[in-house]
Structures are given as C-alpha cells and as structure tokens.
A and B are shown apart, each in its own frame.
Chain A
Amino acid sequence: MGGCSDAELVALVAEQHRDALAELYRRHGGWLLARLHHRCADDGIAAEALQDTFVAVWRVAGSYRGSGEVGGWLWGICIRRLIGLLRKRRPEPVAGGDWGLDPVASAEDLVLAGTEHGDLAGALRSLSPELRAVVQATALDGLTTREAGQLLGIPAGTVKTRMMRARVELRGALA
C-alpha cells in the first residue's frame, strides 16, 4: 500500500478497498486540514469538512479521471464541502460584514502556481484585501463566482465587480 501512487490508491478506493482510503487519508488528511484552517476560523467546521471530504471520496473515487494531481482533486472536493457547510450556517450571503469567520485575512497575497516572488506577487500585494481575497478564491482555489461568493459571504455579483476592478488594477500595476 505504501508503494502505490496516489492515482493507484484512488483506483483501489474505487474498488472498495478500505486500506487504500486509509493510506490516502494518512498522506493527505493533514495538509488538507491545515489548508481548511486557513479558509475557516472555526476548527469544528474545518474538521467536519475534512470528514465529509473523505466520505465523499469513498463514494466518488470512480470519477477521478487521472488528470491532474490527486492533491488538487482532493482539495476541490474539500473546499466545496466547506462551502456547503458554511452555506448551511449562513443562509444568505450579505455584502461585507464580519460573521466571525475570517477567510479574507488568512492569505492576503496570491501566488500563482510556481511563481513565488516577483512583479505579479508584488502587484497583487498592492490590491486591497477584498480584491485580493476574490482573486485568491477564484484563481488559487479554482472556485466559480457563486462559490467564491458563498465562501466569502458576499453576493456573486459583488464577486464579479471586484474581479473586474482587480483585473484593471493589476493591469495598471503590471504595465
């Protein structure tokens, strides 16, 4: 089991092998939880999202098409589970406002895959926190505008307008 690749593990999970699920959890449970903590200040909700994630993995392992990293696929399931839980506790997204959950302040800079320092990161740092959060949610976490709105507690329309403003400012900063 230890010698299998992540993709092989997922294939085994699809064939209902429990040991494979356990190994997948052993490899990925930790960092997924840490990342969840960076999106949601409530530890209980984060733990619940992680649990729901692996229960979901058991059921949908067959749908992993082998494209892209398993880690990315897992995070995709994870963040959507988190959004689902947050939505249950916060039925209507409201513009701005502090709901005791603080996803915006957690990762203020955006780093696109591979790029660590440089102009782009600096330009992003020049954006205001709300704009940065929106860019992070859609680009780094790969969420749709609606999902980003649910995560951040703002309407989808606000997400769109902030994205447009962010793009304008970035273009200006990079020019």
Chain B
Amino acid sequence: MDPIVSTRGLAKDYGRSPALRSIDLELGPGITGFLGPNGAGKTTLLRILATALEPSAGSVRILGHDPTDPRARIEIRRRLGYVPQELGLYATFSAFDFVDYVAILKEHVDRRARHDEVRRVLDEVDLGDVRSKAIRKLSGGMRRRVALAQALLGDPPLLVLDEPTVGLDPEQRVRFRQLVSRHAERRCVVLSTHVTEDVEALCDRVVVLHDGAVVFDATPAELAALAAGRVWVADLADDGAHVSWRTGEGRYRMVGEPPPDADLIAPTVQDGYLLLGGGIAEGSAA
C-alpha cells in the first residue's frame, strides 16, 4: 500500500536558521503523533504537510502528489483537512456560517448538499445545538470543535491537526480522542501535541522531533519501553534522577538511573519521552 505521506530529505530554513533538517518519513493510514519541545519543528512540518508552507529542500509526496507543483497542490488540498495551531475563526460569524464559508472555498458548490454536509460535520463534533450562535459566544473548547468540524468537511483522507487538544478539559479531550479514532480507520491523521497521554491513548505511531530532526519513530509502546527499568518511586526525591516529581500520594516518582533496590514501576510514554530528552536512553529506535 502506497504511503499517504512520504518525505525524503525534507528541510526548511527561515533565513539562516534551519527549522527542519532532512526529515525522512513514511506515513500510512492511522494516527501519527508528533512530540517535541517548542521550536522542535512540529508546526513547520505540519504546515508543510498541509501545503501551507513550501519546503526549502528535499522531496515530499502527499496523497500521491508533489505539493510544489501548483496543479497537484490543488488536488492535495481537495482531499485535506487542516486545523492550524492558531484557531483563526471569525468571531461575528455563527458556527454554521463559518463552516459554510469554508465549505464554499472547498468547492462544495451545491447549496443544499453543502448545508447538509455542514450540518453533518457540526453534528459529528456535537455542535449541532449551538450552530446558530455567534462564535464569540462559544467557549474555547467549542471554538476548537468548530475548527475541527471544518477540517472534516468532505471526509478527507488526510487530516493535519496542530496541537488540537490545547485548552480542552479532560472530558473534551476524551471526546476529541473518540472523534479522531472514529475518523482514522481508513485515513491518515497527523497531529502534534505536548500531551503524552494523547499519544498514549490515541496514536498508532509516534515521532519525536528535536531541533528539526527525527530522534524517534516507532510505536508509543516502544517509546515507553525506552524507560523500562528506569522508573521508580521512593519516599524521598533522588538527586541522581534525571527527572522527579511528587505524586498525589505523597511519594516521589523518578525517571533516570535507579539505585539497586529501587521500587520499579511500569513506564509510560511520558517517561520514555523525558528520558529521550535527557539523552540517557541508548539511542532512538528509528
């Protein structure tokens, strides 16, 4: 099966500072999460995949097309849904009006069919009830859902979501995960996040970016496994640990090199990610 997204040597520079250095990726159906600190290049990469940004070097193929070719780019855009990091909605439009406007720009010409489609996507994100309300009257979580709804127009095979769970409360986060996993069955969903629980709960695959390069590319379980035998709890914080914090039960959770008699516990994706950042792990399973 052809990959939905593939990049080879993809690079992007802003002036003299490189945002992405030689990224090689192949993404197929399923949900891929991109983790990494601010400035790692997640947004830059996602913008390139969404055809909002032109690469500086390397090759990209999205949905079988080359986005640097103008005609092919339009073909990609016809089958793409994108939620940028900055929401960018028109406050005075109603949710329906805004999604309808985007639907027009996405070439849904027939008014009746278009309105049915707008209603469908708004129902999918549970905004059917408030679709006539002005966006400025909607809460932050609802606005995020409006942005998600427009990305779902036309049921696109590729969804690019840049930090989609920012500002969502835990219940909304769960609803979002349900929505995305429903959508991802035959499609490729690419999302970036800071929240490792999202990756754990949702992603088939996780790519960790650091300073514009890929430092890890495998399953979330494998990322967690990097920290196997390196996570423990104790009553006091251990200064030698790479990272430690106090848990709700009053004990300390440590990630790093454990002392001989440490009380080891099962690692999470977050543990693996933290270790990766510290460079203690044996090297990335790329």
Contact = CB atoms under 8 A, between A and B. Distances in A.
Interface string B108-132: 0000000000000000000011111
A19 B128 contact: yes
Interface string A1-38: 00000000000000111111000000000000000000
Contacts of A19: 128-129
B128 A16 contact: no
Nearest to B119: A18
Interface in B81-136: 128-133
Contacts of B130: 16-18
A99 B195 CA distance: 71
Size category, B interface:
under 10
Contacts of B129: 17-20
A18 B119 CA distance: 12
Of the listed residues A15, A17, A18, the one surrounded by the most CB atoms of chain B closer than 10 A to its CB is A18
A57 B255 CA distance: 61
A17 B142 CA distance: 14
Nearest to B134: A16
Contacts of A16: 130, 132-133
Contacts of B133: 15-16
A171 B38 CA distance: 88
A15 B129 CA distance: 11
Of the listed residues B128, B129, B130, B131, the one surrounded by the most CB atoms of chain A closer than 10 A to its CB is B129
A20 B129 CA distance: 8
A19 B129 CA distance: 5
Nearest to A18: B129
Interface string B182-206: 0000000000000000000000000
Interface in A77-120: none
Interface in A29-82: none
A19 B133 CA distance: 12
Interface of B: 128-133
Q: Shortest 4 CB-CB distances between A and B: which pairs?
A: A19-B129, A16-B132, A16-B133, A18-B129
14 contacts: A15-B133, A16-B130, A16-B132, A16-B133, A17-B129, A17-B130, A18-B128, A18-B129, A18-B130, A18-B131, A18-B132, A19-B128, A19-B129, A20-B129
